[in-house]
Amino acid sequence: MAKRDLPEINAGSMADIAFLLLIFFLVTTTIQTDSGLSVLLPPYVEEPPPPEKKNKRNVFAVQINGNNDLLIRGRQCPDVNSIKEKAITFITNRGKDPNSSDSPNKAIISLLNDNGTSYEMYVAVYNQLKAAYNQLWEETSMEKYGRSYDDLNKEERKAVRNEYPLVISEAEPSDLLKS
């Protein structure tokens, strides 16, 4: 009896097809990256300059302890959403209230958190502080240029930011802020 040849499947091009599919999916797939907080850090210096003595009235101190309790200038603040309005009032005081800043150029917002502070609470507070500046920039750009801050050119944005410079000082997290 004669032997029959078994039919074979030519698999020579299977590797090429798999390789092409792999390249196709690599090229067409978008990879999401975590953006985090966009904060510009100061440049590294070998020997930091001695700290300047700041007038206490020009510092808007915001503290978050390990229990996520919020203190603004030493007083408990139960509502995170009220930070924005309090910060705007502080920054735009221009020396009227002796307990608030002398001018927007001297206003400093100090954010101090504890090692036990939740990330969500930290981000919520930071967003409120940043929103205060965003609102001030938007109002100033509408007042000076009649356009939204996003529509201004680089020089105009710089002029608006010079009027209300963003100064958020973040201290290193500590374990000292127990309630």
For residue 61, what is the enclosing H or E element?
Answer: strand 59-64
Q: What are phi and psi of 157, to 5 degrees?
A: -60, -40
Query: Would you give per-residue pLDDT tens digits along the chain (179 residues)?
Result: 677 777 777 777 888 889 999 999 988 988 777 766 676 666 777 877 776 666 788 889 899 988 888 989 888 988 888 999 999 999 998 878 888 888 888 888 989 888 888 889 998 999 999 999 999 999 999 999 999 999 999 999 999 999 999 988 887 766 554 44
Tokens of 77: 């603040």
CA pair distance 89, 27, nearest whole angstrom: 50
Q: Distance (Å, rounded) from C-alpha 92 to C-alpha 101?
A: 8
Predicted model pTM: 0.70
Residue 122, number of CB atoms within 10 A of its CB = 18
Q: What are phi and psi of 171, to 5 degrees?
A: -85, 155
